[in-house]
Structure 1
């Protein structure tokens, strides 16, 4: 049997890359019986039919991670891409993406794209907010080739999912990292300043410099209804770290006296936007549990 990785799955067929070859495979009936669905990113053993070089997936190795939306296995990290302009950055949405990446057990890198459009210092404001929160941030511009090599180094030997709003330049970034990809890029709607979705199915793309990227719209749902009220704070790193100093162990960091989190916000050690987004999501989770 041969060992490979599933790079694409369409209509019950799984395309497995082994070395320089790709084999079209079906899954053994045993998987269906046990309700196991092979996923893009799975490391597998396949058995080849020598008559037509098709194969069967015989075994799936244990997964390190398993995303539901998009359905892909063994992802190591998420690159959350936002543009400094066109469309304007939405930090509430960025915090939601970061929360989901953390919940899925992925390392997160924030990529602030279209840095060449920054004329009012907005990129530095965003950088300072998330650097204080402990995130790794890369400033990029495909127009000026800024940060492209740094981003490429971060992708080496990893399986990476790109996420973020449409129109921020995810496909353009990948095309600049590896010019022969020729991924379809979307245009920004003049009426809404939103991008148009261009990626339709999940597929792994191998990079010449090492590693794989998931060609997908990223996290296709941003619901947080599965997160418990007392767990939410763990996904706001700087809020969680400071909360241990609060006077009351059950402090919700909203209206309680002696709250060290509120003090840190007042002293600008925690950004107001991150704090507001935490409270907003906390209320959302409470409302979900109430109903």
Structure 2
């Protein structure tokens, strides 16, 4: 069985090294309702649909306590919608500053297509955010065959529904002939739920959270320690393979095809 599709996440996987665009927007959105959150706290639920992400932050014990201090009550469903309405345009506003392609992406995509694979994508971003990001990526040469956004379906990550839509859009099956590439635990869970091979990204996305320049500035032992922590997190989430970034993917595709040839499945 040959691989039929490569399905990528967006921020931290295909674009935006370090997955930095949403972070300031989350911090600012909460600040506008009187609640302080840190970048580290904002990163915690990354990979979830953005409404679910905000809900998860509000359930966090420390953030919930700050909310109650600021608002005099526990957060409600309406509060989730209110913060999302603040967050979304903030994210759209900064997206152009974080739209650079991850180094190596285009070479990997070109080789995957040469092998006959289709290129799918799912994202925790909403459709309005992606409507700003997609043309920027296309201008840089990245045009996946489909884009499924948070909010397009009844449920997003970690459910498999966005993956199912991608299979249907691309006309590919079985799931075991597809590979999901993602930098977050919910993104890995999405691939596992759908029955695909999953590959985690330790250094280009949320698991590390550093820009390319910041990562390149680390001492070798610091970089190794960061890689080890991120790799452990993604492996614990169930990733079949963990690599530094999309640039390292081609040997993994070879390894997966060898497993398929041996009769193995995800």
TM over 0.5: same fold?
no
Q: Write 1 or 2 for the structure with the bigger share of strand.
A: 1
Bigger helix share: 2
- TM-score, reference length from structure 2: 0.29
**TM-score (ref. length: structure 1):** 0.27
The structure that has the greater radius of gyration is 1
Q: With CA pairs under 8 Å and 6+ residues apart, which has the higher RCO, 1 or 2?
A: 2
